[in-house]
């Protein structure tokens, strides 16, 4: 019974409004009401759909980067090319710390610091990489520039 009564009330409101206010006023009230509903929909629902969360994308990019570096480290055990890629990554860290990045890049290629020498050193690569990263960490903590 409730559904029928509420349905009748919904039908009766525009009819009563048309009789009391006239058809012209009722049309303008309908236009205003539909405009408000459309604006609420556009700014409420549509914007959430149009702009997906950037957090998910960033997590995916970080995951891809970690996987890429992991593969490079695994290959660097035997491949000199992968070792040179890791060496360049360490140089980029020092370049980021430096005010003059071009000079730091050139200087580290001409006169490698302790971290780069450890990467180039023969022997157990993973131990050398760990020692090199410890040297980089100390340089970052001290604010060293390479």
pLDDT digits (tens, 9 = 90+) for 19-63: 777 778 777 877 888 888 788 777 776 655 555 555 666 666 667
Report the pLDDT value the prediction gives residue 52, as an integer from 0 to 100. Answer: 55
Q: Which pLDDT score, from 0 to 100, does residue 1 have?
A: 47
- The C-alpha atoms of residue 137 and residue 146 are separated, in whole angstroms, by 11
> What is the C-alpha separation between 120 and 112, in angstroms, rounded?
10
Can you tell me the distance from the alpha carbon of 57 to that of 53, in angstroms, rounded to the nearest whole number? 8
Q: Give the span between the Cα atoms of 16 and 22, in whole angstroms.
A: 9
Model confidence band, residue 134 (pLDDT cutoffs 50, 70, 90):
very high
CB 86 within 8 A of CB 118: no
Domain boundaries in the chain?
Answer: 2-50, 64-142
How many angstroms separate the CA atoms of 119 and 81, rounded? 12
pLDDT score recorded for residue 27? 79
């Amino acid at each position: 019974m409730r559904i029928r009564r509420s349905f009748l009330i919904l039908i009766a409101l525009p009819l009563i409004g048309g009789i009391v206010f006239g058809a012209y006023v009722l049309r303008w009230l309908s236009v205003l009401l539909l405009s408000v509903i459309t604006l609420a929909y556009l700014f409420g629902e549509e914007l959430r759909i149009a702009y997906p969360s950037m957090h998910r994308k960033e997590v995916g990019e970080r995951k891809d980067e970690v996987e890429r570096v992991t593969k490079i480290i695994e290959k660097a055990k035997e491949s000199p090319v992968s070792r040179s890629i890791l060496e360049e990554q360490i140089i980029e860290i020092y370049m980021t710390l430096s005010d003059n990045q071009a000079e730091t890049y050139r200087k580290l290629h001409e006169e490698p610091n302790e971290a780069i020498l450890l990467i180039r050193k023969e022997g157990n690569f993973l131990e050398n990489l760990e020692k090199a990263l410890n040297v980089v960490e100390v340089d970052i903590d001290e604010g060293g520039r390479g």
